[in-house]
């Protein structure tokens, strides 16, 4: 766990924001916040809700390992330290209201929109942007909308898409070492002291992860599609990543 950064991290702290699966708490200094991961799961913008036992701890730890890995390979993230089983201390970002999805194989909404079969390989990664808005159900947008509406500057949109592609290369290796195919994933970005950093989480909630040998889905699609076995799938992802990277392989190179 991280260095002692004040009493607020592991004990009571002021809640700044409550999301669907995480709480954001005040950090020990104004440039930080604490993300607290819960077992709550939602699908279809909250149309379906439930609990996945142990998910909070898995998503917290997987995110910590993934962020350490990305940082060690030169990609900036908001991560500072893990503080207990469900909390991350992170830099407080000025959030850019875009979700950036990168796809290596067709799945989910891409299959629905284009009539593709799940798992169809893509010749090149696909980068998609979505406008973060619950009332509008996160509509898909493109870089022209992002620039025209001032959600991000032209330079930021360019940097954000390049960082997402670099994250795709790195995370493909990160999950690949655990026998997992990174089918697609979603990243969020924010500004911190004139840098663009990866924010939010990297977890089986935000990545599609398929077992390399069997094709078994080990991610939130088990909940979205009502397949059962969610807790076991999440635990398996973490166990495999701990085996591959938990010994410090991320930070050590
Ligand atoms: P999609 O196929 O439903 O568009 O999802 C693409 C990827 O983004 C998938 O890995 C799941 C992730 N995702 C989120 O993290 N949050 C969301 O709200 C949605 C819709 C998808
Ligand atoms: N984030 C979406 C929701 O809030 C669900 C998803 O991940 O597909 O319902």
In tens, the pLDDT along 151-170 reads: 999 999 999 999 999 999 99
In the predicted structure, residue 44 carries a pLDDT above the cut 90: no
Query: How far, in Å, CA of 248 to CA of 253, rounded?
Result: 8
The enclosing domain of 47 has a CATH number of: 3.30.200.20
Query: How far, in Å, CA of 105 to CA of 127, rounded?
Result: 12
Residue ending a domain, choose from 65, 91, 117: 91
Residues 156 and 204 in one domain: yes
CB count, 10 Å around CB of 246? Answer: 14
Residues 36 and 114 in one domain: no
Give 230's contacts (C-beta < 8 A, 6+ positions apart).
Answer: 41, 52, 55, 220, 222, 223
Instruction: Please compute the mean of the pLDDT values over residues 32-51 and round it to a whole number.
Output: 95
Using one digit for the tens of pLDDT, what is the confidence trace for 202-243? Answer: 999 999 999 999 999 999 999 999 999 999 999 999 999 999
Return mean pLDDT, the chain. 94
Q: Identify the burial level of 139 via C-beta atoms within 10 angstroms of its C-beta, where 0-12 means exposed, 13-18 middle and 19 or more buried.
A: exposed
The answer to the question of residue 236 being in a domain is no
Residues 176 and 85 in one domain: no
Report the pLDDT value the prediction gives residue 30, as an integer from 0 to 100.
97
The answer to the question of residue 107 being in a domain is yes
The answer to the question of residue 235 being in a domain is no
The answer to the question of residue 192 being in a domain is yes
Residue ending a domain, choose from 91, 116, 134: 91
Residue bearing the CA closest to ligand 2, atom 3 = 45
Residues 42 and 72 in one domain: yes
Residues 54 and 114 in one domain: no
pLDDT: which is higher, 6 or 173: 173
Residues 38 and 147 in one domain: no
Using one digit for the tens of pLDDT, what is the confidence trace for 65-90? Answer: 999 999 999 999 999 999 999 999 99
**Which structural domain range is residue 29 located in?**
5-91
Q: For the chain, how many structural domains are there in total? A: 2
The answer to the question of residue 241 being in a domain is no
The answer to the question of residue 242 being in a domain is no
Residues 80 and 39 in one domain: yes
Residues 134 and 221 in one domain: yes
Using one digit for the tens of pLDDT, what is the confidence trace for 125-149? Answer: 999 999 999 999 999 999 999 999 9
The answer to the question of residue 131 being in a domain is yes
What residue ranges line ligand 1, CB within 6 angstroms?
101, 107-110, 184-186, 206-208
Instruction: Please compute the mean of the pLDDT values over residues 44-56 and round it to a whole number.
Output: 93
The answer to the question of residue 243 being in a domain is no
Residues 103 and 87 in one domain: no
CA distances (Å), origin 180, targets 51, 216, 251 = 24, 10, 20
Residue bearing the CA closest to ligand 2, atom 6 = 43
Query: How far, in Å, CA of 187 to CA of 107, rounded?
Result: 17
Residues 33 and 118 in one domain: no
Give 115's contacts (C-beta < 8 A, 6+ positions apart).
Answer: none
Taking the CA of 126 as reference, the closest ligand is 1
The enclosing domain of 155 has a CATH number of: 3.30.470.20
Q: Name the band, by pLDDT with cuts 50, 70 and 90, for residue 246.
A: confident
Residue bearing the CA closest to ligand 1, atom 7 = 185
Angle at 57 between CA 52 and CA 61, to 5 degrees: 130
Separation of CA 252 and ligand 2 centre (Å):
34
Residues 133 and 202 in one domain: yes
Residues 76 and 129 in one domain: no
Residue bearing the CA closest to ligand 1, atom 11 = 206
Residue found by looking up tokens 């398996």 in the block: 236
Q: Which atom of ligand 1 is nearest to the CA of 108?
A: 2
Instruction: Please compute the mean of the pLDDT values over residues 31-59 and round it to a whole number.
Output: 96
């Amino acid at each position: 766990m991280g260095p002692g950064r004040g009493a607020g991290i592991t004990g009571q702290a002021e809640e700044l924001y409550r999301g669907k699966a995480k709480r954001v708490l005040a950090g020990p200094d104004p440039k930080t916040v604490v993300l607290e991961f819960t077992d709550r799961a939602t699908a279809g913008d909250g149309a379906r809700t439930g609990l996945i036992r142990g998910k909070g701890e898995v998503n917290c730890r997987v995110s910590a390992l993934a962020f350490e890995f990305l940082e060690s390979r030169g990609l900036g993230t908001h991560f500072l330290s893990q503080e207990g089983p469900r909390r991350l201390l992170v830099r407080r970002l000025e959030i850019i209201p875009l979700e950036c999805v990168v796809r290596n194989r067709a799945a989910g909404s891409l299959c629905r929109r284009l009539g593709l079969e799940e798992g169809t390989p893509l010749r090149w990664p696909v980068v998609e942007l979505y406008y973060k808005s619950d009332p509008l159900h996160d509509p898909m947008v493109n870089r022209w909308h992002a620039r025209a509406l001032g959600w991000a500057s032209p330079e930021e949109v360019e940097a954000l898409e390049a960082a997402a592609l670099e994250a795709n290369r790195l995370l493909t290796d990160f999950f690949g070492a655990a026998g997992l195919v990174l089918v697609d994933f979603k990243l969020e970005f924010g500004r911190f002291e004139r840098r663009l950093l990866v924010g939010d989480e990297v977890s089986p909630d935000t990545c599609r992860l398929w077992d390399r040998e069997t094709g078994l889905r080990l991610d939130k699609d088990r909940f979205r599609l009502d397949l059962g076995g969610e807790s076991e799938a999440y635990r398996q992802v973490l166990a495999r990543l701990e085996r591959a990277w938990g010994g410090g392989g991320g930070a050590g190179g």
